[in-house]
Amino acid sequence: MLVPRDEAPVAARRGRDRRARVLPPRPGRPRIEGEPPTTAVVGGGIAGLAAATALAERGVRVTLHEREAALGGRLAGRPTELADGSGVTMSRGFHAFFRQYYNLRGLLRRADPGLEALTALPDYPLRHSSGLRDGFRRVPRTPPWSALGFVALSPTFRARDLLRMNPVAALPLLDVRVPDVYERLDGVSARDFLDAIRFPAAAHHLAFEVFSRSFFADPRELSAAEMALMFHIYFLGSSEGLLFDVPGEPFPAALWEPLARYLRGHGAELCTGSPVDGVAPAPDGGFTVAGPAGSRHHDAVVLALDTGGLRSLVDRSPGLGDARWRGQVARLRTAPPFLVSRLWLDRPVAPERPGFLGTSGFGSLDNVSVLDRWEGEAARWAARTGGSVVELHAYALPEGADRAREQERLVGQLHAVYPETRAARVVDARHEWRADCPLFPVGGHADRPTVRTPHPALMVAGDLVRTDLPVALMERAATSGFLAANALLERWGVRGQTLWTVPDRGRSAPLRALAKWRRGE
Q: Strand locations in 321-425, DSSP E?
A: 338-345, 356-360, 367-370, 388-394
Lowest mean pLDDT among 107-121, 215-229, 388-402: 215-229
Confidence band, pLDDT 50/70/90 cuts, at residue 120: very high
DSSP 501: E
Q: What is the pLDDT of residues 249-274, one digit of tens each?
A: 999 999 999 999 999 999 999 999 99
Q: Give the integer Cα–Cα distance in Å for 99 and 242.
A: 8
pLDDT of 248 = 97
pLDDT of 2 = 32
Q: In Å, what is the CA distance from 55 to each residue of 37, 62, 479?
A: 10, 7, 14
pLDDT of 214 = 74
Q: Give the integer Cα–Cα distance in Å for 424 and 418.
A: 11
**177 vs 318, which has greater pLDDT?**
318
Lowest mean pLDDT among 5-14, 192-201, 325-334: 5-14
Confidence band, pLDDT 50/70/90 cuts, at residue 235: confident
pLDDT tops 80 at residue 211: no
pLDDT of 212 = 67
Q: In Å, what is the CA distance from 294 to each residue of 39, 253, 284, 297, 317?
A: 16, 31, 19, 10, 15
pLDDT of 206 = 63
pLDDT of 404 = 97
pLDDT tops 50 at residue 173: yes
Confidence band, pLDDT 50/70/90 cuts, at residue 10: very low
pLDDT of 154 = 72
pLDDT tops 90 at residue 236: no
**92 vs 166, which has greater pLDDT?**
92
pLDDT of 128 = 87
pLDDT of 517 = 64
Assign 160 to helix, strand or coil.
helix
Q: What is the pLDDT of residues 353-396, one digit of tens each?
A: 999 999 988 999 999 999 999 999 999 999 999 999 999 999 98
Sheet holding 126-128, edge to edge: 133-134, 126-128, 356-360, 367-370, 388-394, 338-345, 426-434
Q: What is the share, in percent, of the chain residues with pLDDT greater than 70?
A: 90
Closest CA to 442 of 151, 145, 228, 168: 228
pLDDT of 215 = 78
**220 vs 277, which has greater pLDDT?**
277
Q: What is the pLDDT of residues 468-496, one digit of tens each?
A: 999 999 999 999 999 999 999 999 999 99
Q: Identify whether the C-beta of residue 346 lies closer than 8 Å to the C-beta of residue 385.
A: yes
Mean pLDDT of the chain: 90
Confidence band, pLDDT 50/70/90 cuts, at residue 162: low
Confidence band, pLDDT 50/70/90 cuts, at residue 13: very low
pLDDT tops 80 at residue 453: yes
Lowest mean pLDDT among 141-150, 282-291, 314-323: 141-150
pLDDT tops 90 at residue 242: no
**61 vs 228, which has greater pLDDT?**
61
Q: What residue spans of 276-342 are helical by DSSP H?
A: 307-315, 323-330
- Cis peptide bond N-terminal to 179, omega within 30: yes
Exposed, middle or buried by CB within 10 Å (0-12, 13-18, 19+), for 145? middle
Give CA angle at 495 (494, 500), nearest 5°: 150
Confidence band, pLDDT 50/70/90 cuts, at residue 338: very high
The number of C-alpha atoms within 13 Å of 249 and in the hemisphere containing its C-beta is: 11
Mean pLDDT of 155-167: 72
Q: Give the integer Cα–Cα distance in Å for 503 and 387.
A: 45
Q: Give the integer Cα–Cα distance in Å for 192 and 150.
A: 22
Give CA angle at 408 (403, 409), nearest 5°: 100
pLDDT tops 60 at residue 445: yes
The number of C-alpha atoms within 13 Å of 38 and in the hemisphere containing its C-beta is: 13
Predicted TM-score (pTM) of this structure: 0.93
Q: What is the share, in percent, of the chain residues with pLDDT greater than 90?
A: 71
pLDDT tops 50 at residue 50: yes
pLDDT of 240 = 86
